[in-house]
Amino acid sequence: MPLIKFECDASIPEREKHCYIKKPGEDTTQYLPLSNIATIPGSLSERGCSYCGAKLVIGGVVKDAIQMIHGPVGCAYDTWHTKRYPSDNDNFQLKYVWSTGLKEKDVIFGAEKILRKSINEAFDEMPDVKRMFLYTTCTTALIGDDPKAVAAEVMAARPDVDIFVVECPGFAGVSQSKGHHVLNIGWMKDKVGTYEPKLTSEFTLNFIGDYNIQNDTLLLSEYLERMGIQVIAHFTGNTNYDDLCGMHRAKLNVVNCARSAGYIANELKKKYGIPRLDIDAWGFDYTAEGLRKIGAFFGLEKKAEEIIAEESAKWRPKLDWYKERLTGKKMCIWTGGPRLWHWTRAVEDDLGIEVVAMSSKFGHQEDFEKVIARGRVGTVYIDDANELEFFEVIDMVKPDIIFTGPRVGDLVKKLHIPYINGHAYHNGPYMGFEGFVNMARDIYNATTSPIWELAGQDIQDLSYNQDIVELPSAEAS
């Protein structure tokens, strides 16, 4: 059976269709795991909600906008102090969160009034900030508030501000993914084309689907700057709100995260004819390949080669030093989805690491097509894995390192398995040439830590103790 049924899933047999082990010579199209379908309640799935996909992942990265979350306080509190997307304006987007702090009476009588007041207060309290993302949540979607009408009213009364409304309650869709979609399409429809960027180069692009985790965006921007390319907008790493309104003026859309942001790239192509170029911004060789493609598009091949040569001279020796030491290590990737297909081959080619099991929280079929195409034979591919499956997979594949979130990292630590934060990194950035060396260094440090050997030693075991000091034997005491 190419699809696998975990023992822990005996009572939820439908999980079988979400788990695949790649076999040699198999027609993998026959066995693509089911994905992007309803979650099984009580399964301890890793999935979050679609509001998260809109606010926390994409909108909240924008560095000069208020993030007004229309609902009870939890949705705001919960998406604050959890992300690592810095900015070059002193991290405004990390420091604040806004909520309309909905109460019972607002649920009963409608909450548009408090929404209006909260928006006005927010602009009054921070008079330098003129832009706002406004999100609905489960509560305000169910009671049927009309946030767009309220936003329009405020914008009419305050001509210097601009508000973008995202109607994306947590129960929409089946995961974070729906939130990406709603925000993408809404932005395209409501905001793209409302601002004319200043063009400073004949070579312009949008960098789409990169959220400046630990300054990834800043690192990549530097390469593009050296090539003489103007980035009209980053969607949405270290970006301004207005820059995103000017995306229609770019000549090329370079896409890294095709999952969360492929939508807007497709729409920009449809409406404005801007070609979409998918690259992998993680991975040493992949980065070179991406720069070459961008160079080829603009006729800047020579510049691209120069950068690749310079960066390789600077970083390749370090990368190879790690490759020598990491070759043959076994790795799991349990993240959202795209990093599975960005990383599986990159760590294999650049670092000699074998990715033995992967799980995607919210990937779609196309994500599995990509990762299974690039991934190894014998590797486990899981959609929407849950906690008990994780334990079983660990028994099956015995990884040396797991790339996943910190909570799961805390869990596998008890099994003496090191983790690297696959979402927000340990010591990033991880993109680009330098970034992949950072990633290699973190893997090396994690897997060679003396902690793991110490953890395995039992001081109650006399044979261990006798190696260290002469202890009285059990009989003697």
Stretch that binds another protein, among 28-36, 75-83, 218-226, 279-287 (CB under 8 A): 75-83
The helix or strand, by DSSP H or E, that contains position 180, with its residue range, turns out to be helix 177-190
Q: Which is nearer to another protein, 111 or 308 (CB)?
A: 111
User: Do the Cβ atoms of 253 and 294 come closer than 8 Å?
Assistant: no
Contacting residue, 43, 177, 215, 240, with another protein by CB under 8 A: 43
User: Do the Cβ atoms of 200 and 249 come closer than 8 Å?
Assistant: no
Contacting residue, 20, 98, 235, 341, with another protein by CB under 8 A: 98
Stretch that binds another protein, among 151-159, 191-199, 313-321, 402-410 (CB under 8 A): 402-410
Which sign, positive or negative, has the C-alpha torsion 432, 439, 358, 405? negative
Q: Which is nearer to another protein, 1 or 10 (CB)?
A: 10
Contacting residue, 136, 137, 177, 206, with another protein by CB under 8 A: 137
Site for another protein in 174-203 (CB under 8 A): 174-175
Contacting residue, 173, 338, 375, 428, with another protein by CB under 8 A: 173
Shortest Å distance, C-beta 206 to another protein: 29
Residue type for position 76: A
The residue count of the chain comes to 477
Site for another protein in 403-432 (CB under 8 A): 405-408, 410-411, 413-416
Q: How many residues contact another protein, by CB under 8 A?
A: 82
Shortest Å distance, C-beta 90 to another protein: 8
Can you tell me the distance from the alpha carbon of 175 to that of 185, in angstroms, rounded to the nearest whole number? 17
Residue written as token pair 């028994």: 395
Residue 35 contacts another protein per CB under 8 A: no
Stretch that binds another protein, among 18-26, 78-86, 312-320, 428-436 (CB under 8 A): 78-86
Residue written as token pair 């983790």: 419
Site for another protein in 47-66 (CB under 8 A): 47-52
Shortest Å distance, C-beta 20 to another protein: 21
Residue 146 contacts another protein per CB under 8 A: no
Structure tokens at 187: 């932005």
Q: Where are the beta strands (DSSP E) in 378-427?
A: 380-383, 401-404, 419-421
Residue written as token pair 């799935």: 45
Can you tell me the distance from the alpha carbon of 270 to that of 388, in angstroms, rounded to the nearest whole number? 43
Structure tokens at 318: 């370090």
Residue 138 contacts another protein per CB under 8 A: yes
User: Do the Cβ atoms of 256 and 432 come closer than 8 Å?
Assistant: no
Can you tell me the distance from the alpha carbon of 230 to that of 75, in angstroms, rounded to the nearest whole number? 36
Site for another protein in 101-130 (CB under 8 A): 101-104, 106-107, 114, 117-119, 121-122, 125
